[in-house]
Protein backbone atom coordinates (compact mmCIF):
# COMPACT_ATOMS: atom_id res chain seq x y z
CA UNK A 1 0.00 0.00 0.00
CA UNK A 2 2.77 2.38 0.95
CA UNK A 3 4.56 1.47 -2.26
CA UNK A 4 1.47 2.21 -4.32
CA UNK A 5 1.13 5.52 -2.55
CA UNK A 6 4.71 6.54 -3.33
CA UNK A 7 4.27 5.56 -6.97
CA UNK A 8 1.14 7.71 -7.19
CA UNK A 9 2.96 10.57 -5.53
CA UNK A 10 5.83 10.25 -7.97
CA UNK A 11 3.46 10.23 -10.95
CA UNK A 12 1.79 13.35 -9.61
CA UNK A 13 5.02 15.16 -8.85
CA UNK A 14 6.93 14.24 -11.96
CA UNK A 15 5.28 16.71 -14.37
CA UNK A 16 5.79 19.50 -11.83
CA UNK A 17 9.48 18.67 -11.54
CA UNK A 18 9.94 18.55 -15.29
CA UNK A 19 8.13 21.85 -15.74
CA UNK A 20 10.12 23.54 -13.01
CA UNK A 21 13.34 22.47 -14.71
CA UNK A 22 12.27 23.81 -18.09
CA UNK A 23 11.32 27.38 -17.29
CA UNK A 24 13.95 29.91 -16.49
CA UNK A 25 12.86 31.80 -13.42
CA UNK A 26 12.26 35.35 -14.60
CA UNK A 27 12.49 38.22 -12.17
CA UNK A 28 11.61 41.71 -13.34
CA UNK A 29 13.03 44.37 -11.05
CA UNK A 30 10.77 47.23 -10.02
CA UNK A 31 12.52 50.54 -9.28
CA UNK A 32 11.86 51.70 -5.70
CA UNK A 33 11.06 55.29 -4.68
CA UNK A 34 14.70 56.22 -5.26
CA UNK A 35 14.84 54.55 -8.65
CA UNK A 36 16.94 51.67 -7.35
CA UNK A 37 16.27 48.24 -8.81
CA UNK A 38 16.91 45.70 -6.08
CA UNK A 39 17.51 42.10 -7.08
CA UNK A 40 18.16 39.19 -4.74
CA UNK A 41 20.11 36.33 -6.28
CA UNK A 42 21.06 33.17 -4.50
CA UNK A 43 23.55 30.72 -5.88
CA UNK A 44 23.89 27.06 -4.98
CA UNK A 45 24.99 23.76 -6.44
CA UNK A 46 24.44 24.30 -9.37
CA UNK A 47 22.00 27.09 -10.03
CA UNK A 48 21.25 30.75 -9.70
CA UNK A 49 17.85 31.78 -8.43
CA UNK A 50 16.40 33.64 -10.26
CA UNK A 51 18.39 32.94 -13.41
CA UNK A 52 16.76 35.46 -15.71
CA UNK A 53 16.68 39.03 -14.47
CA UNK A 54 15.11 41.95 -16.25
CA UNK A 55 16.23 45.50 -15.37
CA UNK A 56 15.94 48.90 -17.00
CA UNK A 57 18.89 50.67 -18.55
CA UNK A 58 20.01 53.92 -16.96
CA UNK A 59 18.73 53.13 -13.46
CA UNK A 60 20.94 51.83 -10.65
CA UNK A 61 20.80 48.13 -9.86
CA UNK A 62 21.53 46.71 -6.45
CA UNK A 63 22.37 43.02 -6.47
CA UNK A 64 22.10 41.12 -3.21
CA UNK A 65 24.14 37.98 -3.66
CA UNK A 66 24.10 35.02 -1.32
CA UNK A 67 25.64 31.58 -1.42
CA UNK A 68 23.06 29.00 -0.38
CA UNK A 69 25.62 26.24 -0.36
CA UNK A 70 27.48 25.72 2.90
CA UNK A 71 30.56 23.94 1.61
CA UNK A 72 30.82 24.46 -2.14
CA UNK A 73 32.37 27.80 -3.11
CA UNK A 74 30.57 29.74 -5.83
CA UNK A 75 31.07 33.00 -7.64
CA UNK A 76 29.11 35.49 -9.70
CA UNK A 77 30.76 36.71 -12.88
CA UNK A 78 29.15 39.17 -15.26
CA UNK A 79 31.43 40.85 -17.76
CA UNK A 80 29.66 43.31 -20.01
CA UNK A 81 31.91 46.36 -20.27
CA UNK A 82 29.85 47.60 -23.23
CA UNK A 83 26.97 48.05 -20.78
CA UNK A 84 29.10 49.35 -17.91
CA UNK A 85 29.06 46.09 -15.98
CA UNK A 86 32.15 44.35 -14.68
CA UNK A 87 31.52 41.91 -11.82
CA UNK A 88 33.62 39.06 -10.51
CA UNK A 89 32.68 38.25 -6.92
CA UNK A 90 32.89 35.27 -4.62
CA UNK A 91 29.54 34.33 -3.15
CA UNK A 92 29.46 34.13 0.64
CA UNK A 93 26.96 32.87 3.18
CA UNK A 94 26.34 36.45 4.25
CA UNK A 95 24.72 38.61 1.58
CA UNK A 96 26.98 40.80 -0.52
CA UNK A 97 25.64 43.97 -2.08
CA UNK A 98 26.87 45.06 -5.50
CA UNK A 99 25.83 48.22 -7.29
CA UNK A 100 26.04 49.18 -10.93
CA UNK A 101 24.04 51.04 -13.54
CA UNK A 102 23.53 49.22 -16.83
CA UNK A 103 24.03 51.70 -19.63
CA UNK A 104 22.95 49.69 -22.63
CA UNK A 105 20.04 47.36 -23.43
CA UNK A 106 20.91 43.80 -24.30
CA UNK A 107 21.11 40.30 -22.90
CA UNK A 108 24.18 39.61 -20.83
CA UNK A 109 25.15 36.22 -19.49
CA UNK A 110 26.38 35.67 -15.97
CA UNK A 111 27.86 32.51 -14.54
CA UNK A 112 29.86 30.92 -11.75
CA UNK A 113 33.49 30.43 -12.79
CA UNK A 114 34.29 27.69 -10.26
CA UNK A 115 35.41 24.25 -11.31
CA UNK A 116 36.50 21.31 -9.27
CA UNK A 117 39.57 19.54 -10.64
CA UNK A 118 38.69 16.74 -13.15
CA UNK A 119 35.08 17.78 -13.00
CA UNK A 120 32.79 19.86 -15.19
CA UNK A 121 32.72 23.56 -14.48
CA UNK A 122 29.81 24.90 -12.46
CA UNK A 123 28.77 26.80 -15.57
CA UNK A 124 28.54 23.52 -17.50
CA UNK A 125 26.50 22.11 -14.65
CA UNK A 126 23.96 24.87 -15.11
CA UNK A 127 25.25 27.73 -13.00
CA UNK A 128 24.51 30.50 -15.42
CA UNK A 129 21.83 33.01 -16.16
CA UNK A 130 20.87 36.10 -18.10
CA UNK A 131 20.67 39.73 -17.18
CA UNK A 132 18.30 41.35 -19.64
CA UNK A 133 18.61 45.10 -19.81
CA UNK A 134 15.63 46.79 -21.41
CA UNK A 135 15.16 50.40 -22.51
CU1 LIG B 1 29.53 27.57 -8.56
Q: What CATH number does residue 128 fall under?
A: 2.60.40.420
State the DSSP code for 38. Answer: E
What is this structure's pTM?
A: 0.81
Tell me, yes or no, whether 109 lies in a domain. Answer: yes
- Give the model confidence (pLDDT) of 3-21 as tens digits: 555 544 445 445 554 445 5
Range(s) of the domain holding residue 106: 24-134
Tell me, yes or no, whether 50 lies in a domain. Answer: yes
Tell me, yes or no, whether 43 lies in a domain. Answer: yes
CA of 118 to the centre of ligand 1 (A): 15
Tell me, yes or no, whether 45 lies in a domain. Answer: yes
Number of domains in the chain: 1
Tell me, yes or no, whether 18 lies in a domain. Answer: no
Contact between residue 50 and residue 129 where contact means Cβ atoms under 8 Å apart = yes
Tell me, yes or no, whether 113 lies in a domain. Answer: yes
The end-to-end CA distance of the chain, in Å, is 57
CA of 38 to the centre of ligand 1 (A): 22
Question: Once rounded to an integer, what is the mean pLDDT over residues 74-84?
Answer: 98
Q: Is 81 helix (H, G, I), strand (E, B) or coil?
A: helix
CA of 29 to the centre of ligand 1 (A): 24
CA of 92 to the centre of ligand 1 (A): 11
Distance, in Å, from the CA atom of 122 to the CA atom of 29, rounded to the nearest integer, reads 26
CA of 87 to the centre of ligand 1 (A): 15
Amino acid sequence: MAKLFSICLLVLLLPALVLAKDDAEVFTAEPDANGVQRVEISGGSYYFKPDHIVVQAGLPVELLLTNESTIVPHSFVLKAPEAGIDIDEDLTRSTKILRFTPTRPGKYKFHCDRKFIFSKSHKEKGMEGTLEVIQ
